[in-house]
Amino acid sequence: MSIHHTDTPANPGRRHFLKTTGQLLIGFSIIPSTFTATHAMAADAVTVDEGSINTWLRIDAEGNVTVLTGKTELGQGIKTALMQIAAEELDVSMKRMHIIIADTAQTADERYTAGSASIESSGRAIREAAAEARKVLLEMAAEKLQTQVGGLNVKDGMVTAVATGKSIGYAALLDGKNIQGKVSGKAPQKDPSKYTLVGTSWPREDIAAMATGEPVYVQDMRLPGMLHARIVRPPAYGARLLTLPEEKLKTLPGIVKLVRNGSFVGIVAQEEYQAMKALKLLQQGATWSKPALQPAQPQLFDHILQQNANSEIVRKNESVNPAIEGAATKLEAVYKRPYHMHGSIGPSCAIAEWKDDQLTVWSHTQGAFPLRGTLSDLLGIPEAKIRVMAVPGSGCYGHNGADDVGADAALLAMAVPGKPVRVQWMRDDEHSWEPYGSAMLLRLKGGLDAQGNLLALSTELWSDTHSSRPGGRAGHFIAGRDLEKPFTFSVGRFSGGSYRNSQPLYDTPSQVILNNCKGPLRTSALRSLGAYANIFALESFMDELAHKAGKDPADFRLKYLKDERAKAVIEMVMEKTQWRDRIKKKAAGLGIAFAQYKNDASYCAVVAEVQIDKKAKQYRLIKLTSAIDAGQAINIDGIINQTAGGMIQSASWTMLEEVRYNEGGILTRAWDSYPILRFNAVPHTEVFVINKTGLPPLGAGEAAQGPTAAAIANAIFNATGSRLRELPLKPAKIDWNKV
């Protein structure tokens, strides 16, 4: 099993064979020699029709299966999971499986790899295509072996007639031809109780490459004749270039080209360090006009609260306000979330080449097809002349600098035709220019009757956009706005990300109002979008209500949940953490929280455990435990890895992180000013997966983000009596006199 499935340029015979039999597939390979073959691809590319089996999988002359997905690998292990799905339906062993990820010349357009939706969407398509392929192949085999389809067995791609013992393999059946047919969606699918691969923890192949220093990432690609570039980014949003000390470059060796277009400046050099030295000289000498960044950070939330002209009623219920007004106990609380950073460990990187009237871009984008469309808008060349190939990069948790650096590389490549140009962002570029997760403010109100029963919940929230991806509009690229003839940026109306998970699943009348607002910083999708803050607020508030009602916070939630699967994850995490015993003994601070991601994907409950050091006025997060129901699990270990990782990442956001700025621009430009969780403060983690064999698989990759945040806040309250409602939950915010 390898990530690439490619012909070898050194073997023209085989290449020719594959071409004439319609099986030519050139996947991504970081082995440099294979890149020489990729330029011929546009002509070779097959027509991608989402209705045909061939769009999703092919079987070659040796019986190897290649899955084609329009989704991309972000470190979440999607390649392995999708291959498991296809191998299971086809009854082919994993050693025969290969996969090609998003490539505008070869795969279906599946838009963005986002929203924990790849298993649900691409996985479903691949499963249906594999089931259809199996049906077609078995019909062919039945004819060849002169029997009925029902009388056939398949083992590792070998079809055997039970009655006669005669066999024929998938490859021989196809005899070098494509599998004919459309995906009807009606082909019989394997009974999930008979799964042998799906639902197991099949290991990811790419980890061996990562652990031994084999090339894996776009950063590792080295193309023949490749040039290195850096971008002289403006020092702040909206800054305009006044003067550039171009003469200083004369003293430097290896400079190939200085590209200046308005306030977009790129420097292309023979070698990487030469480009870095040039960047430093240009940054030191350039002068810029700079608008002040407003409002000042201390006034940020006042500024947000003043904006209620662009409001939407997300959920309306006329009975909510009267119920809260008339309640025996009324509660109101305001929660705040600052801007958070993706903070990928490897800054964004892309390679582009303009050659023979064709632009090729290698990118760790989440959306190869939308990136192609947006590059077309930026450069004024048709999409047919652009190929974008997805290549893994450093961990991706949403819309980071990947698309922007793709645009940078494309602009520079157009200026040096025939040469691949590698653009590597500096750490400072990523920290200060990536689109952040939006700051949010949430006001929750609720009422209890005299017996502590919940009467109603009301939420009003304020948020900037969680989606400014470059869906075809070049103004969404940083570079697009800096050109001499700039493209304009306009936020769309999309607001679903802002109110994600704001509607309670609890069985009580509730209403939600969203105020779409505009903040000072660039924002877009960060893992779970608005769900992180919405769940932090709602699940903190449920804890506050339980406390007011004098009820155990876990029992209080269970009482108002109707969905058995929701209750099951809470009950499991309670059992695994010995919640009832330990909450009585008060040995450590315990907090619980729950959400079903997007109210329609995975169910996840988290228990956090904190320990207090009163003397040092510090708390320590000891452990995070979660139970998750992701429906039919495809890869159990993959779900555990994603969930444990999600909890740790969310703990870092929750306890430590806040983007800071002043009127001159972003202040948190590196890890010293934007610290994230390091090994000495990382909690222990434990994840329990409830595998629902036969039920639809549910997106799992973002389910832990929100519950973790609230569980930590609730644990701090349990341990100290201080209710922290403003993220990050710094120890200084705790009232230590109460402890």
| 606/600 Cα distance (integer angstroms) | 18
Closer by beta carbon to other proteins, 140 or else 216:
216
Binding to other proteins (CB under 8 A): which residues in 55-74? Answer: 74
Q: Which of the stretches 148-156, 219-227, 295-303, 691-699 binds other proteins when contact is defined by CB under 8 A?
A: 219-227
Contact yes or no for 637/694 (Cβ under 8 A): no
Among candidates 556, 561, 530, 533, which has minimal Cα distance to 544? 556
Closer by beta carbon to other proteins, 338 or else 504:
338
Closer by beta carbon to other proteins, 109 or else 428:
428
Rg of the chain (C-alpha set): 27
Q: Can you tell me which of 165, 253, 298, 382 binds other proteins, judged by CB under 8 A? A: 253
Shortest CB 603 distance to other proteins, Å:
20
Closer by beta carbon to other proteins, 136 or else 209:
209
Give the DSSP H/E element, type plus range, for residue 568. helix 564-576
Shortest CB 623 distance to other proteins, Å:
10
Q: Does 718 participate in binding other proteins (rule CB under 8 A)?
A: no
Q: Can you tell me which of 42, 149, 305, 676 binds other proteins, judged by CB under 8 A? A: 676
Alpha carbons within 13 angstroms on the beta-carbon side of residue 234 total 23
Closer by beta carbon to other proteins, 106 or else 625:
625
Contact yes or no for 108/50 (Cβ under 8 A): yes
Amino acid found at 31: I
Closer by beta carbon to other proteins, 97 or else 300:
97
Q: Does 711 participate in binding other proteins (rule CB under 8 A)?
A: no
Binding to other proteins (CB under 8 A): which residues in 295-354? Answer: 342-347
Q: Can you tell me which of 6, 29, 69, 76 binds other proteins, judged by CB under 8 A? A: 76
Q: Can you tell me which of 432, 515, 649, 720 binds other proteins, judged by CB under 8 A? A: 649
Among candidates 426, 369, 437, which has minimal Cα distance to 403? 369
Q: Does 31 participate in binding other proteins (rule CB under 8 A)?
A: no
Taking the CB of residue 212, how many other CB atoms lie within 10 A of it?
A: 8
Q: Can you tell me which of 28, 397, 541, 556 binds other proteins, judged by CB under 8 A? A: 397
Shortest CB 202 distance to other proteins, Å:
10
Shortest CB 724 distance to other proteins, Å:
22
Q: Can you tell me which of 33, 148, 162, 271 binds other proteins, judged by CB under 8 A? A: 271
Strands 386-390 and 240-243: unpaired
| 642/646 Cα distance (integer angstroms) | 6
Shortest CB 625 distance to other proteins, Å:
12
Q: Does 225 participate in binding other proteins (rule CB under 8 A)?
A: no
| 478/401 Cα distance (integer angstroms) | 9
Binding to other proteins (CB under 8 A): which residues in 180-209? Answer: 201, 203-204, 206-209
Contact yes or no for 443/461 (Cβ under 8 A): yes
| 656/677 Cα distance (integer angstroms) | 7
Phi, psi (rounded to 5 degrees) for 456 = -170, 160
| 657/671 Cα distance (integer angstroms) | 11
Shortest CB 671 distance to other proteins, Å:
4
User: How many of the chain's residues bind other proteins (CB under 8 A)?
Assistant: 63
Residue found under tokens 């191998």: 87
Contact yes or no for 461/439 (Cβ under 8 A): no
| 25/99 Cα distance (integer angstroms) | 10
Shortest CB 383 distance to other proteins, Å:
29
Closer by beta carbon to other proteins, 372 or else 527:
527
Closer by beta carbon to other proteins, 393 or else 435:
393
| 531/505 Cα distance (integer angstroms) | 13
Quick one: three-class SS letters along 77-108?
CHHHHHHHHHHHHHCCCHHHEEEECCECCCCC
Query: What b/e string do you get for 408-441 counting C-beta neighbours within 10 Å, with b at 16 or more?
Result: bbbbbbbbbeebbbbbbbbeebbbbbbbbbbbbb
Q: Does 284 participate in binding other proteins (rule CB under 8 A)?
A: no
Contact yes or no for 398/426 (Cβ under 8 A): no
Shortest CB 73 distance to other proteins, Å:
9
Q: Can you tell me which of 82, 187, 216, 267 binds other proteins, judged by CB under 8 A? A: 216
Shortest CB 346 distance to other proteins, Å:
5
**Alpha carbon of 265 to those of 72, 156, 245, 283, 421: distances in Å?**
30, 55, 12, 10, 15
Q: Can you tell me which of 104, 118, 685, 718 binds other proteins, judged by CB under 8 A? A: 685
Q: Does 107 participate in binding other proteins (rule CB under 8 A)?
A: no
Binding to other proteins (CB under 8 A): which residues in 407-446? Answer: 424, 426-427
Shortest CB 572 distance to other proteins, Å:
20
Closer by beta carbon to other proteins, 52 or else 654:
654
Closer by beta carbon to other proteins, 365 or else 642:
642
Q: Does 737 participate in binding other proteins (rule CB under 8 A)?
A: no
Phi, psi (rounded to 5 degrees) for 545 = -65, -40
Q: Which of the stretches 16-24, 395-403, 551-559, 598-606 binds other proteins when contact is defined by CB under 8 A?
A: 395-403
Shortest CB 211 distance to other proteins, Å:
5
Tokens of 334: 């305001």
Cα dihedral 126, 470, 656, 717 in deg (nearest 10)? -70
**Alpha carbon of 231 to those of 291, 349, 411, 437, 734: distances in Å?**
21, 11, 11, 24, 43
Q: Does 41 participate in binding other proteins (rule CB under 8 A)?
A: no
- DSSP annotation of 219: G
Q: Which of the stretches 89-97, 238-246, 324-332, 391-399 binds other proteins when contact is defined by CB under 8 A?
A: 391-399
| 471/468 Cα distance (integer angstroms) | 8
Closer by beta carbon to other proteins, 252 or else 333:
252
Closer by beta carbon to other proteins, 139 or else 428:
428
Closer by beta carbon to other proteins, 300 or else 700:
700
Closer by beta carbon to other proteins, 335 or else 362:
362
Among candidates 354, 344, 400, which has minimal Cα distance to 375? 354
Q: Does 95 participate in binding other proteins (rule CB under 8 A)?
A: no
Q: Which of the stretches 101-109, 394-402, 540-548, 554-562 binds other proteins when contact is defined by CB under 8 A?
A: 394-402
Q: Does 27 participate in binding other proteins (rule CB under 8 A)?
A: no
Q: Put the strands of the sheet holding 684-690 in their side by side order.
A: 589-596, 603-613, 618-629, 684-690
Q: Can you tell me which of 163, 210, 292, 328 binds other proteins, judged by CB under 8 A? A: 210
> Alpha helices, DSSP H only, in 266-385?
272-285, 300-305, 320-325, 368-379
Q: Can you tell me which of 55, 72, 116, 219 binds other proteins, judged by CB under 8 A? A: 219
Closer by beta carbon to other proteins, 52 or else 641:
641
Which stretches of 179-310 are assigned E, i.e. beta strand? Answer: 227-231, 240-243, 255-261, 264-269, 287-289
Contacts of 322 (CB under 8 A, 6+ apart): none
Q: Which residues bind other proteins (CB under 8 A)?
A: 74-77, 201, 203-204, 206-217, 219-220, 222, 253, 271-273, 342-347, 392-397, 424, 426-427, 637, 641-642, 644-649, 652, 670-672, 676-680, 682-685
